Amino acid sequence: MSEAKVKKTLGVKAKRRITKVFLYITLVVLSIIWLYPVLWMVLTAFREEYNDLGNLIGIVSGKYIPSGFGFENFRRLLFGNAESAHYSTGWFPRWFLNTLIVSVFTFVLSTIFTLSVAYVMSKMKFKARKPFLNVALILGLFPGFMSIIAIYHILQTFGFLNTYAGSMIALILCYSGGAGLGFYVAKGFFDIIPDSLIESAKLDGATNLQILAQIVLPLSKPIIIYTALTSFLGPWTDFVFAKAILGAQNQERFTVSVGLYSMMNGQFSDGNLFTTFVAGCLLVSIPIVTLFLSMQKYYVSGVTSGAVKG
Domain that holds residue 57: 3-79
Q: Are residues 49 and 95 in the same domain?
A: no
| Dist CA 106 CA 99 (whole Å) | 10
Q: What is the pLDDT of residue 299?
A: 64
Strand partners, 69: 47
Stronger pLDDT, 137 or 232, i.e. the higher one: 232
| pLDDT, average across residues 234-244 | 90
Q: Are residues 120 and 199 in the same domain?
A: yes
User: CB-hemisphere CA count at 13 Å for 238?
Assistant: 26
C-alpha Rg value of the chain to the nearest Å: 26
Q: Are residues 62 and 120 in the same domain?
A: no
| pLDDT, average across residues 113-139 | 87
Stronger pLDDT, 235 or 307, i.e. the higher one: 235
Q: Are residues 60 and 182 in the same domain?
A: no
| Dist CA 123 CA 201 (whole Å) | 13
Q: Are residues 40 and 103 in the same domain?
A: no
Q: Let me know if residue 50 belongs to a domain.
A: yes
Q: Are residues 133 and 219 in the same domain?
A: yes
Q: Are residues 57 and 125 in the same domain?
A: no
Percentage of the chain exceeding pLDDT 70: 81
Domain stop point among 54, 79, 104: 79
Q: Are residues 69 and 35 in the same domain?
A: yes
Q: Is the pLDDT of residue 89 over 80?
A: no
Q: At what angle do helices 92-123 and 129-139 cross, to 10 degrees?
A: 150
Q: Are residues 59 and 196 in the same domain?
A: no
Domain stop point among 18, 44, 79: 79
Q: Is the pLDDT of residue 59 over 50?
A: no
| pLDDT, average across residues 268-295 | 80
Q: Are residues 55 and 201 in the same domain?
A: no
Give residue 236's identity as a one-letter amino acid code: W
Lowest mean pLDDT among 13-17, 23-27, 155-159: 13-17
Q: Let me know if residue 86 belongs to a domain.
A: no
Q: Is the pLDDT of residue 29 over 80?
A: yes
Q: Are residues 33 and 129 in the same domain?
A: no
Q: What is the pLDDT of residue 309?
A: 46
Q: At what angle do helices 72-79 and 274-306 cross, to 10 degrees?
A: 90
Stronger pLDDT, 19 or 2, i.e. the higher one: 19
| Dist CA 89 CA 84 (whole Å) | 9
Q: Let me know if residue 84 belongs to a domain.
A: no
Please state the pTM of the whole predicted model: 0.80
Q: Let me know if residue 308 belongs to a domain.
A: no
| Dist CA 111 CA 284 (whole Å) | 22
User: CB-hemisphere CA count at 13 Å for 190?
Assistant: 25
Q: Let me know if residue 309 belongs to a domain.
A: no
**Arithmetic mean of pLDDT over the chain:** 81
Counting the structural domains of the chain, the total is: 2
Q: Are residues 56 and 103 in the same domain?
A: no
Lowest mean pLDDT among 28-42, 73-87, 177-191: 73-87
Domain stop point among 79, 102, 135: 79
Stronger pLDDT, 194 or 87, i.e. the higher one: 194
